[in-house]
């Protein structure tokens, strides 16, 4: 949906930059060979009439701006210590059939007493556990742009807490969720 809107906006920008659309046609506005107008306009006004003026403003629809703000807020670093695992793919299924993939980042919020570098050293184990959990408990396609990720998030949190002690992990969060459905 976003791609379609950006493509439409870029086509409009290119089309409006063409002389036929920009207003002015690229010429001196007709008249004599010196470019002067036969309408008796002042010389300063004639000069401004002969130049192509293109003013363009690209305003994104409000829903795109709100999505961008929401994504920026979600990806903003939290107050306390945390570790972000690299982005991963989560299968999206409906009735047991693969519908597509969701791209997420697993953010592990740590307790204030946790050793962040010890957790970072175990990132490979956390990623393995998260990927296994995601493929055993995928996102479920509920309806148009609605996905159930609660069971997947609970399974991921349980697996990560089994690797790290409960005293280290305060919360496990899935960030992102850009879903790409397969063509059917």
Residue 127, number of CB atoms within 10 A of its CB: 15
| Rounded to 5°, angle at Cα 123 from 121 and 125 | 110
Q: What is the rounded distance in angstroms from the CA atom of residue 153 to the CA atom of residue 173?
A: 7
Q: What is the rounded distance in angstroms from the CA atom of residue 21 to the CA atom of residue 26?
A: 11
Element (H, E) at 103: strand 97-110
Contact in structure between 9 and 58 (CB atoms under 8 Å): yes
- What is the full DSSP assignment across 37-69? -TT---HHHHHHHHS----------HHHHHHHH
Task: Output phi, psi for 181, to 5 deg.
Answer: -80, 145
Q: What is the rounded distance in angstroms from the CA atom of residue 142 to the CA atom of residue 101?
A: 14
Domains of the chain plus CATH, in order, are: 2-59 (no CATH), 78-181 (3.30.479)
Contact in structure between 99 and 182 (CB atoms under 8 Å): yes
Element (H, E) at 150: helix 150-163
Q: What is the pLDDT of residue 126?
A: 94
Tens of each residue's pLDDT in the chain, 184 residues: 445 554 455 544 444 454 544 444 444 444 444 444 445 555 555 555 555 544 545 555 566 777 677 777 767 777 889 999 999 999 999 998 999 999 999 999 999 888 889 999 999 999 999 999 999 999 999 888 788 899 999 999 999 999 997 678 999 999 987 888 887 6
């Amino acid at each position: 949906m976003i791609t379609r809107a950006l493509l439409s906006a870029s086509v409009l920008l290119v089309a409006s930059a063409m002389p036929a659309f920009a207003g002015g046609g690229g010429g001196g506005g007709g008249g004599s060979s010196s470019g002067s107008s036969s309408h008796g306009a002042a010389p300063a006004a004639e000069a401004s009439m002969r130049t192509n003026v293109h003013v363009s403003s690209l305003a994104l629809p409000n829903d795109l701006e709100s999505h961008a703000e929401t994504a920026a807020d979600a990806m903003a670093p939290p107050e306390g210590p945390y570790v972000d695992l690299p982005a991963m793919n989560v299968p999206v299924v409906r009735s047991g059939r693969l519908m597509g993939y969701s791209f997420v980042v697993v953010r592990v919020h740590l307790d204030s007493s946790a050793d962040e570098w010890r957790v970072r050293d175990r990132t490979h184990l956390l990623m393995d556990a998260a990927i296994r959990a995601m493929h055993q408990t995928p996102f479920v396609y509920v309806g148009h742009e609605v996905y159930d990720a609660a069971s997947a998030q609970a399974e991921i949190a349980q697996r990560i807490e089994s690797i790290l002690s409960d005293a280290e992990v305060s919360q496990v969060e899935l960030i992102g969720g850009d879903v790409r459905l397969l063509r059917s």
